[in-house]
Amino acid sequence: MQFFYSSKDKVSKQPADEAATSTPSEAADASAASNEKPAKEQEDFSKYFQGLNLIDVQSDEKEAVNSRALARWEEDFRAQPKNVLSQNVFAQTAIDQIIAKSNPAAKLKDRFLFNTTVETIGSTSFFNNQKSSGRCWIFAASNLFRTAVIKNYNLKDDEFQVSQSYVFFYDKLEKANFFLEQIHETAAEPLDSRLVQYLLAGPVGDGGQWDMIINVVSKYGLVPYEAFPDNSQSTNSSKLNYIVTEKLREFAIKIRELVAKKAPEGVIRDFKVAAVQTVYKILALTIGQPPKPTDSFVWEFANKDGEHKHFKTDPLDFYKTHVKLDAANHFSLINDPRNPFDKLYTVDRLGNVYGGKPIEYVNTEIEEIKTVAIKMLKDNEPIFFGSDVGKFGDNTTGVLDSTAYDYESAFDFKLENNKADRLRVGSSLMTHAMVITGVHIDPETKKPIRWKIENSWGDQTGNKGWYLMTDEWFNEYVYQIVTTKKYASKKTFDVWKSKEFSTLPYYDPMGSLA
C-alpha cells in the first residue's frame, strides 16, 4: 500500500485491488492528478507507515478509535490464525520467555567464554550484594578499590572487601546538606516550580555517580568492611530513605519561610546546621556510627602466603596508603548521541558534597569507549561502567543481549527507536553501575563479541554473580565508562582537562544516578 502527501493535508490511500497492480510511480501520478498537483511536488510519506496495517479508512472518520474501527480491527485480527494461537500462549507464559531465541547460534554467542580478562577482581559472593538498596555505584567503585588492595597485599579474593556502608553513610549525610543548600539558593522560586519540585522529589536517594565517589573518598577516605559492616538498614534502605526525605522536606518548608521573613543569614545557617545534625542522628541510629576520617583503627589480615600483617591507620590514610587508587585521576567517558561529541558536559544542580567536584562527562563515540575499555582490560584494569541494565536481560542466565528476543515473530513489528531517540523520549537512561572484567575478541576480525561483568547482586543471580553483555547490547545500552589519562586518547583527555563545560539541565537523562 502506497501513501502520498495530499494537498488537503491528509494521507490518501489506494484501493487494495489497484495497489496490487499499479507501480509506485503510477500510484503517485494517480494521487497527484486527483489533487491537481504535479507528482514531483508530492512528498512520499510511505516510510512512516512501514510495519503498520491501515485498513478500511473512512474519509469522514475523525476519531481513530470508534465502534466501526474496533469491528474492523477485530475482524482483521481474527483473520490471522497465528494471532489466536499467540493469544493463548501469552495468556499462560511470560512475554520474555516466549520471545527469547533458543537457537544454537544465539546460545553459542552468549556463552561465558572470554579470551581477555583481568587477573584480580575479588569474589562475587564476599560482601558483594547490595540487596534491597540502590547502592550499585558504591559497590562497583568498592570492587575497584578492593581489587587494588588485593593486588597490593597478595590477599585472597574471598577474604577482603572495603566497606560500602561507610561510603553510604557519608554520602547520605552530604546529600542532605547539599539539598538544604539548594533549597536555600532557590527560595525565591515558587514551591510548585519544576526546579523546586525536582529538588524535593528525591533529596537523598541511594544512587550516585563516579564523581560523587571522588567527593566522598577524598573527604572521608575508606575503611575495610569489618571496620563498618552492612546492617539491616543499609541493605534494605527504603524506609530509611522515607524518614530522611520527609524530615528534609519539612526543613525545606522552614528554610523557605525563614527566607520569606527575611531572617538574618546567620539564623538560616544555624538552622541548616541543626537540620543536618538531625539527619546525622537518623543515620547513626539506623546505619550505625562510622569512624570519622581521622579516627584510628587497626587493620589485620593474613595474605595468600599465610603472612600476618598489622597496620594502625585511619580512613583517610587507609585510602591513600593502602588502597593506592586515586579516584580523582579517573574520569567518565559517555556515549550520548543526542549531543556533540568531544565536549565536556556537566549536569545542573547534580552532586552530593556541596562545593565539591561537579559531575564531569566527556562525550565520545561508542567505538572510542570500546577501544579504551579493551586497552584497560588488556592492562589488567577492571572498569566501572553505567548502563541501562533493565533492557533485554535475563537475571537467571546473566545474559544481556539485545538480539536475543524475537519481537517481530510475536508482534509483527520491531522496536526501532535508536539510542538517541530512546534518551529523548525517556525510554532509556543509566540505571545501574557494574564492573567490566573481561572481553571476548574475535581472533579474525579483532572486534569484541561479548563482555564479562561483575555485578553486585550476590552469587545467586546470573552465572554465580557474573553477567555477560553482547557487543550489540554494549552499543545500545552502555552509557559510561570510567578511565584515566593512560588509556584515553590525547584529544579526549584534553577535553576533560579543559574544564570547559556545557551544562545539561537538571532534568536531563544524563543526570540519572546509577
Catalytic residue among 184, 322, 330, 432: 432
Question: What is the C-alpha separation between 158 and 125, in angstroms, rounded?
Answer: 8
215 flagged as catalytic: no
Catalytic residue among 143, 215, 352, 455: 455
Question: What is the C-alpha separation between 462 and 398, in angstroms, rounded?
Answer: 4
Q: Which helix (H) or strand (E) is 152 found in, with range?
A: helix 136-153
Residue 474's identity, in one-letter code, is: F
Question: What is the crossing angle of helices 164-185 and 210-220, to 10°?
Answer: 100
Are residues 335 and 364 in contact, defined by beta-carbon separation less than 8 angstroms? yes
Q: With CA atoms as reference, report the closest residue to 101 among 337, 397, 390, 311.
A: 397
Question: What is the C-alpha separation between 456 and 140, in angstroms, rounded?
Answer: 7
Q: Which helix (H) or strand (E) is 434 found in, with range?
A: strand 432-441
C-alpha cell at 188: 525565591
455 flagged as catalytic: yes
Catalytic residue among 136, 143, 215, 330: 136
Long-range contacts formed by 402-406: CB under 8 A, 24+ apart: 402/470, 402/472, 402/473, 402/476, 402/477, 403/101, 403/106, 403/470, 403/472, 404/100, 404/101, 404/106, 404/110, 404/470, 405/96, 405/99, 405/100, 405/101, 406/99, 406/100, 406/101
Residue 84's identity, in one-letter code, is: V
Q: With CA atoms as reference, report the closest residue to 247 among 205, 278, 274.
A: 278
Q: Which helix (H) or strand (E) is 469 found in, with range?
A: strand 466-470
C-alpha cell at 19: 495497489
Question: What is the C-alpha separation between 293 and 258, in angstroms, rounded?
Answer: 33
Active site residues per annotation: 136, 432, 455
